[in-house]
Amino acid sequence: MRYHRSRGWEIPASETTPESIFLNRRAFFVGAGAALTVAGLLRRAHADDADPTTGLYPAKRNPAYTLDRDVTPEKVNLHYNNFYEFTTSKRVDADALKTRPWTVTIDGLVEKKETIDVDDLVKAIGLEERLYRHRCVEAWSMAIPWTGFPLKALVDRAKPLSAAKYVRFETFLDDSIAPGQRQFMPWPYIEGLTMAEATNDLAFIVTGAYGKPVAKVQGAPIRLATPWKYGFKSAKSIVKISFVADRPQTFWQQLGPDEYGFWANVNPDVPHPRWSQARETFLTTGEQRPTLLYNGYGEQVAALYKGLEKEPLYM
């Protein structure tokens, strides 16, 4: 018989935990640990995506920009959007878009080239709220309380050279999160304005809406708003703004040159090749009303197009 001497720290076999219970308990803690790890990663992802400028909203409303209709409810706006980077459906799921950190490169024919964090840009220029009409080329319309700053302020910051005739906007490119960018289209999304358009008081860089940072489905964290033009001119989720000598080849112009041109000014008398632009539909009520020339902003922008009558200004 083998003699086993007690070492003083051992416990009787009757008090040991059965193997099956130990393994189940170990599995529980492994599972709990995994759950805590996932929760921690989610919290970190949320923190990484958080907007540090949230405290700047709501910004003071600029009383010079008013509406002749009610603001479209936020819920309606968020559930009826075009964001082809993600889907051709109006129900956009852009949750995968990671909006922080986010930088914007300002380059081309300028004195001050830079790549700047979007939050630093916001803090440097400041914010205001404006009420703008929004008219889609598909003949539906909204009214939105945008927050941001005049594009002219960014132009002044960049100090463009005299050779700069246009401003080119480029949006994000990441087909790992944006399913629409896996389709055969001329990605990334490119838009452009003339220097005169870009420095018009109405041209607006948007970083917020409805008194808070702009939602992902609306083009977070930074987009363009040009309310006298059809909505496709207002590029979303911008990563680069370039000052160039030649007119940019824009996304929709490349995709459908017979239907979508560079200018895209709203005009009820110039139909889209497949439908009339004479009337628009309010998304909130379904009410229709006559479309307004330049979407009602003719007083502010009509002078930009004098001498350009031979241009296809409304396509």
pLDDT greater than 70 at residue 102: yes
The percent helix, strand, coil of the chain (3-state, each to 5) is: 30, 25, 50
Residue 294 has pLDDT above 60, yes or no: yes
The more confident residue out of 253 and 11 is: 253
Task: State how far Cα 238 lies from the chain centre.
Answer: 7
What CATH class is the domain 55-305? alpha beta
The whole-angstrom separation of Cα 164 and Cα 167 is: 8
Domain locations in the chain as residue ranges:
16-46, 55-305
DSSP strands (E only) in 109-231: 114-117, 128-135, 140-150, 166-171, 190-194, 204-209, 212-213, 223-225
Distance, in Å, from the CA atom of 128 to the CA atom of 299, rounded to the nearest integer, reads 22
User: What pTM was computed for the model?
Assistant: 0.85
Q: What is the pLDDT of residues 211-262, one digit of tens each?
A: 999 999 999 999 999 999 999 999 999 999 999 999 999 999 999 999 999 9
CA distance 81 to 88: 9
- pLDDT tens-digit readout, 254-285: 999 999 999 999 999 999 999 999 999 999 99
The whole-angstrom separation of Cα 261 and Cα 255 is 10
Interhelix angle 151-158/118-125, rounded to 10 degrees, is 100
Closest CA to 265 of 237, 242, 232, 241: 232
Q: Taking CA 157 as the corner, what is the angle to CA 153 and CA 163, rounded to the nearest 5 degrees?
A: 105
The predicted pLDDT at position 234 comes to: 97
pLDDT category, 34, cuts 50, 70, 90?
very low
Q: What is the pLDDT of residue 44?
A: 40
Q: Is the pLDDT of residue 314 over 60?
A: yes
Question: Which residues fall within 8 angstroms of residue 52, CB to CB, at 6 or more apart?
Answer: 100, 119
What is the average pLDDT across 56-66? 98
